[in-house]
């Protein structure tokens, strides 16, 4: 197995996730795209862990999984709140920050 095959897989998933974050309007789908990005990072970390023969990558991957869980929890709570206030979770309707 080559190192680069895993890294390339990670890169593909990362870019698909990036596309999702940009293209999607529904907040839940944006959160899912972010999960794709986080997973691609995990694949990279574990590939490097195997390459370097250390357990550091595993530790980081576990931390990322934990952070992702927290992120989804808070993110979905926010989506719920937005839904309650606006009856919609379309992100482009939230444009109060317009300059």
Partner 1 sequence: MIAAELLVAQNIGFAVISVLMVIGALRVVTTRNVVHAALWLVVVLSGAAAQYVLLAAEFVAVTQVLVYIGAVMVLFLFGTMLTRARIGTERDLNNSYARLGIPVAGVLFAAMAIALVSSFGDEQLPSAARVVGVPEISDQIFGPYLLPFWALSFVLLAAIIGAIVLARKD
Partner 2 sequence: MILAASEILSPLRDGWFLQHAWLTPVIPTVGFVLIVLFGKRMPKKGSEIGVLSLLASLVLASGAAWQWIQRVGDAGEEQFVSPVVRTWTWWQSGGVEFTIGQHVDGLTVVVLFVVAFISTLVQVYSLEYLRGDRRYTHFFAALTLFSAGMLAMVVAEDMILFLLGWEIMGLCSFMLIGHWWEDGANSRAALKAFFTVRTGDVGLLVGISVLFFAANEWTTTHLGLSGFSIRGVSAWALSGEPNSTVILVAAIALFVAAIGKSGQFPLHTWLPDAMAGPTPVSSLLHSSTMVVAGVFLVARLYPVFFTGLDILGPSSNVIMVIAAITIVIAAALAFVQSDIKRVLAYSTVSQLGYMMLGLGAGAWLPAVFHIFTHAFFKACLFLCAGSVSHSASHHSFDMKEDMGGLRKHMPVTFAAWTVSTLALCGVFPFSGFFSKDEIIDNVGGNGYTFFMVVGLGGAFLTAAYMTRATYLTFFGAARGAAAGVHEVHDAHAGAHDVHDTHAGAHEADDAHAGPHESGILITAPIAILAVLAIFSGLFNATPFGESWEYMKKWVEPRAVVVASESHSGGPGEAFVVSVPSAESGHSESPCGKETPPEGVCYAPQVSHATFKWSKALISLAVVFAGIVLSWVLSAALYGRRDPRLVGLTQRNGLARAGYRLLANKYYLDDLYERGVVGSITGPLARGAYWFNQRILDGILHGVAGISRAVAQVVYRDIDQRLVDGAVNASADVTKAAGTTVQPIQSGRVGHYGALLFATAAVAALVFVILNT
Site for partner 2 in 24-63 (CB under 8 A): 24-25, 30
Sign of CA dihedral 65, 66, 70, 71: negative
Q: Binding partner of residue 95 among partner 1, partner 2, none, CB under 5 to 8 Å per kind? A: partner 2
CA of residue 40 relative to chain centroid, distance: 8
CB of 91 to partner 1, least distance (A): 8
What are the beta bridge partners of residue 90? Answer: 26
Yes or no: say if 64 and 38 are a contact pair by the CB < 8 Å rule.
yes
Is residue 91 involved in binding partner 2 (CB under 8 A)? Answer: yes
**Site residues (vs partner 2, CB under 8 A):** 18, 21-25, 30, 91-92, 94-99
């Amino acid at each position: 197995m080559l190192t680069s095959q895993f890294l390339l897989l990670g890169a593909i998933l990362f870019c698909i996730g990036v596309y999702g974050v940009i293209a999607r309007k529904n907040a839940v789908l944006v959160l899912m795209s972010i999960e794709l990005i986080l997973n691609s990072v995990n694949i990279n970390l574990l590939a490097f862990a195997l390459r370097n023969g250390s357990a550091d990558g595993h530790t980081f991957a576990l931390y990322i999984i934990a952070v992702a869980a927290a992120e989804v929890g808070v993110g979905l709570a926010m989506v719920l709140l937005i839904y309650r206030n606006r009856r919609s979770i379309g992100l482009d309707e939230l444009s109060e920050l317009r300059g």
